[in-house]
Amino acid sequence: MSVRQDKIGFVNNSFEIGPVHVGAGRLFLIAGPCVIESETHVRTMTDALQRITADLGIPYIFKASYDKANRTSVKSFRGPGLVEGTRILGRLAKDTGLPVLTDVHEPGHCEIAAEFVDVLQIPAFLCRQTDLLVAAGKTGRAVNIKKGQFVAPWDMNHPVEKVRSTGNERVFLTERGASFGYNTLVVDYRSLPVMRRLAPVVFDGTHSVQQPSAANGVSGGQPEFIPLLARAAVAAGIDGLFLEVHDDPANAKSDGANALDLKLLKPLLEKLLAIHEAAGNGTAL
C-alpha cells in the first residue's frame, strides 16, 4: 500500500485488490445483482459483466450478497445463506479470476466469508458497529464501508479508524445517499471530497436512487436517475463506481426497483469513462 498527496491536496490511500488498483485515479467498477438468487443466475450475470468490462478495459469487482439481513419485510427473500452463498462465491472467484465482494452483517461471519471473497462490505446501517468493523479488519481482506444514511461524511473517519486499528489499511468508503425525509434519499456531492480525504471513495449509483420501504413492504426506486447521478459523481472525481445490475429488474428477488438493467450498463460505462478522462482521471475534485 502507498499513500499519495494528489494535486489538489487530498490524501488518497492506494492498494491492490487482485488486478484492481484502488485509489490511484483509474476508475474501477463494483457490479452484480443485489443477492445470490441461484448459482446459475450468478454465473450468467458474471459472464455478461466480465465481457462488458473486458471490452471497455475497466477494472472490475463482482458483487453479490449471500444474505440480505436488513430487508424491510420478514417475508422478503434473503439469499442462500452463509454456507451455500460463500461456496458459490468462492467457486466463481476461482473459475473467473475476478475479485469478489459480499456483505457481512455479523462479526462471526467475517472470518468465514474472508476465506472465499476478496472484499468484505459493511452495510450502511451497520457502519458504526465496532465489533463488525474490527472483525472485518482483522481478516486482512479489503473492507468497503458504506456510509450510513444517517452519518455526516466527516464522521466516517471513525469507522475507517476502527478498521485501521487492526493494522489493516485496505479500506475504502462508499457514498449511497442520505436520508431526506421519509422514504427518500438525496446525494450531497460535497461528501465525495470530504470522505476522499479519509480513504478512497466509491459512488453507489443504484442505492442512491432507492426509496427505502416505500413500496408496501419493500423498497422502491427511481432507476431513471442512475445515469444522471453517476455522471455527476465521475465528473466530481471518485475512485470507483458501485452499481447493482440485473438482467430482469422487474423480477429481481431483491432491490429490483433501483437496479440498473443489464442492457443499459455498457452505454452508461462508455459515457462515464469519457467523463472520467475529461475530468483528469478522477483527480479533478
Higher pLDDT: 164 or 14? It is 164
Answer yes or no: is 83 within a domain.
yes
The mean-pLDDT minimum among 4-8, 100-104, 166-170, 204-208 falls in 4-8
- Residue 30, classed as helix, strand or coil, is strand
pLDDT score, position 226: 96
Kindly indicate the confidence band of residue 257, based on its pLDDT and cuts at 50, 70 and 90: confident
Q: 3-class DSSP state for residue 283?
A: coil
* Interhelix angle 82-96/39-56, nearest 10 degrees: 40
Q: Which residues pair with 103 in a beta bridge?
A: 121
Does any domain span residue 194? yes
Residue 97 C-alpha cell reads as: 479470476
For residue 261, is it within any domain?
yes
Residue 284 lies in a domain: no
pLDDT at res. 4: 44
**Cα gap 172→166, rounded to integer Å:** 15
Average pLDDT in the 51-72 region?
92
What percent of the chain is modeled with pLDDT above 70? Answer: 91
Q: Considering the domain boundaries, does residue 14 fall inside one? A: no
Per residue in 64-98, pLDDT (tens digit) is 999 988 767 787 888 899 999 999 999 999 999 99
The domain that holds 196 is classified in CATH as 3.20.20.70
Distance between CA atoms of residues 262 and 224, nearest Å: 13
Q: Report the candidate in 22, 33, 10, 35 with the shortest Cα–Cα distance to residue 119.
A: 22
**214: in domain:** yes
- SS3 label, residue 2: strand
Q: Residue 169: pLDDT above 80?
A: yes
In a domain, 113, yes or no: yes
Neighbours of 7 (CB within 10 A): 8
Per-residue pLDDT, 8: 39
Which stretch, 2-6, 128-132, 252-256, has highest mean pLDDT? 128-132
Query: What band does 59 get if pLDDT is binned at 50, 70 and 90?
Result: very high
In a domain, 20, yes or no: no
**Whole-number Å distance between alpha carbons of 246 and 41:** 10
Strand, coil or helix: 236: helix
Domain carrying residue 209: 2-9+25-278
Q: How many residues does the chain have?
A: 285
Prediction pTM value: 0.92
pLDDT at 218: 62
Write the pLDDT tens digit of every residue in 35-46: 999 999 999 999
Is 70 exceeded by the pLDDT of residue 17? yes
Q: How would you classify the pairing of strands 171-175 and 178-179?
A: unpaired
CA distance 250 to 246: 9
Residue 13: the pLDDT is 78
The answer for residues whose C-beta is within 8 angstroms of residue 177's C-beta and 6 or more apart is 149, 185, 186, 187, 204, 207, 208, 209, 210
pLDDT at site 282: 57
pLDDT in tens, 187-208: 999 999 999 999 999 999 999 9
DSSP type of residue 23: S
Whole-number pLDDT of residue 240: 97
* Per-chain mean pLDDT for the chain: 91
**Residue 259 burial by Cβ neighbours in a 10 Å radius (0-12, 13-18, 19+):** buried
Q: How many domains does the chain have?
A: 1
* pLDDT for the residue numbered 214: 57
Instruction: Specify the pLDDT at position 74.
Output: 83
Rg of the chain on CA atoms, in Å: 17
Each residue's pLDDT tens digit, 212-253: 775 666 667 788 999 999 999 999 999 999 999 999 999 999
